[in-house]
Amino acid sequence: MAKENNTSPKKPKFSSWWIYGIIAVLLIGFQFFSNANLSNTKKTTTSELQEYLRNGDVAKILIVTNTRQAKVFLTNEALAKDVHKDVAEKPFALSNAESPQYVLDYGDPQNFENDINNAKVEFNLDTVIDYTTESNVFGDILLSILPFVLIIGIWIYLMRRMSGGGGGGAGGQIFNIGKSKAKLFDEKTDTRTSFKDVAGLEGAKEEVEEIVDFLRNPDKYTSLGGKIPKGALLVGPPGTGKTLLAKAVAGEAKVPFFSLSGSDFVEMFVGVGASRVRDLFKQAKDKSPAIIFIDEIDAIGRARGKNNITGSNDERENTLNQLLTEMDGFGTNTNVIVLAATNRADVLDKALMRAGRFDRQIYVDLPDIRERKEIFEVHLRPIKTAETLDLDFLAKQTPGFSGADIANVCNEAALIAARKEKKAVTKQDFLDAVDRIVGGLEKKNKIITPGEKETIAYHEAGHATVSWMLEHAAPLVKVTIVPRGQSLGAAWYLPEERLIVRPDQMKDEMCATLGGRAAERVIFNKISTGALSDLEKVTKQARAMVTIYGLNDKIGNITYYDSSGQDSYGFSKPYSEETAQTIDKEISILIEEQYIRAIELLEKNKDKLTTLAQRLLEKEVIFKDDLEKIFGKRPFDKDVAEEADKKDADKIESEEAARKEEEKIESDADKK
């Protein structure tokens, strides 16, 4: 199919402007030839004319009264003279009319006529003097109708622009305003994306592949009495590959694929959205079986009746009502499947989400470590990488990254390698790319005083120390005091991918986050504004523990989280003022407990904290190996824990073997 697409010649588009151009050229040419512009006629003067009259060379003078021009015709004897050899040749003309040899522009007609008559009398000439008027009929007609032609031409051009022929725009589509803006993908001409280009997302891909199979082989399912699903909703965080899945469906389905955004239905005119929905489904029905893909459907699919300020939502609600009717109403379209994508499924109308409209909700989650490796393999195909590049390592270094983030990492790594004039992209380039995306660009030229630099060093060393000492805190990868983006220093951790988080794990993370401010208190007995982002993070965590996850003993097993996103409580709080005070108090207690805990940890390890901060001031960037030299092996690491477990297992096994040996000896003694 691809070869056919490449070899098929594109037909040149015929434009009506070619016709207009040809007509204009013909008119100009006709005018050119009709005026006898190819003749050998020369201009002369009054004195030269007097000389020609004196010599008896002039046979006839034709005076054009309206243009004040005289045409001079010579005798045959005069044409044979050398003086007139330039005008003696017979000119090329379309008509049989005789052409003059000379033309003369005169001033006062009376004086000109007197001069000629005097010359005739003086030299006894029989020169014929005649009078005439000339008019260019074609030119006059052209000049008279040209303004009207221009006005009509401009009017036609504007009408075409307004009807959408000249492209979109704010004033475009005034006549086709109710027509759908959906882009139709043709499998023969458009670039195809296949399921091979979609890495990871195995569950979602399987669901979508089944939908494609529905359209390819409908009899397989309908023969058993089953009905083809009406629609599927792709839900997930931004950048996880929802639109990419839809593109893969467009490439694999081999059926007409209509693609548009939810905002394409929105217009300033009333009733346009509903009209475009009707037109879209009519087009899809005409080409059925077909797929309609609506990206960012939350633009028109929001719950009705919310924030209804004097008809502000009427137009959007009309559009949604029409969409509901088209998807599952009396006029249901057969063999038309609707795919939609959104990252705000919580705000969608319940009527849109019910079975019979969107029968399936396909959740496209952030990729895990195995899926991230597959995504790296896809995005690294066009990139020249070093042979020693470990994809497993890259997958481990990018927890929480979406597919779009990984694509950005690969591109950024290639740019960094090119900037360093490398022949291939190495492991370090990828690490630099991750640092740049997460932390921002390094600002080495930022002016920082020695005192501020020391505070930053102890702050970051506090984070590193506390996280090293706590079991459930994320293991440290790298610490730097080089300013990046908005931050004056940064610490990179490799968080463990957990599906369930327990209170002690969250408390350890909070304690590690507060380690920076605790270090400032321990070393300088002062605190600064540098802990703003840390305080924001721990406050959100503590509030979530108390009000969302029900992890606080005082509040109990209660959550005030609304998963539907409908904001059922409005501007009121779902709890009393007394409970609000309790919540604030418990959040404060929770944070202060972890702050005191971080201070106690740093007081015990003050010498190591100081050593780490001094090394950080010296090197500006330190890694996990530097911390191991100061603190020793982290006892909570998996490799250390596994080694300890192995030793314990070996010890138990040897003890068990010794016990069995003793029992055997005792039994032998009893037998004897």
Active site residues: 460
Give the C-alpha separation, 439 to 492, whole Å.
9
**CB–CB of 458/615 below 8 Å?**
no
425 Rama class: left (phi>0) / alpha (psi -120 to 50) / beta: beta
Q: Report which residue type is found at 321.
A: N
Q: Which DSSP category does 333 fall into?
A: P
Say whether 558 sits in a helix, a strand or coil: coil
Both tokens assigned to 559: 């959550």
CA triple 466-470-549, angle to 5 deg: 110
CA triple 562-564-567, angle to 5 deg: 60
Helix axes 369-379, 403-419, angle to 10 degrees: 50
CB-based contacts of 597-600 (< 8 A; 24+ apart in sequence): 597/511, 598/462, 598/466, 598/511, 598/512, 598/514, 598/515, 598/517, 598/518, 599/518, 599/521, 599/522
Give the C-alpha separation, 539 to 527, whole Å.
18
Q: How far is CA 260 from CA 297, 475, 513, in A?
A: 10, 44, 44
Give the C-alpha separation, 404 to 437, whole Å.
12
Say whether 479 sits in a helix, a strand or coil: strand
Both tokens assigned to 42: 């020369």
Residue 60: strand pairing partners: 73, 128
Q: How far is CA 434 from CA 144, 365, 379, 412, 426, in A?
A: 72, 21, 15, 8, 13
CA triple 383-388-390, angle to 5 deg: 80
Residue 622: strand pairing partners: 479
- Whether the link from the prior residue into 256 is cis, omega within 30° of 0, is no
Burial 422-439 (b: 16+ CB within 10 A, else e): eeebbbebbbbbbbbebb
Measured between its terminal Cα atoms, the distance across the chain in Å is 88
The H or E element spanning position 492 is strand 490-493
131 Rama class: left (phi>0) / alpha (psi -120 to 50) / beta: beta
Give the C-alpha separation, 211 to 290, whole Å.
11
Give the C-alpha separation, 668 to 672, whole Å.
6
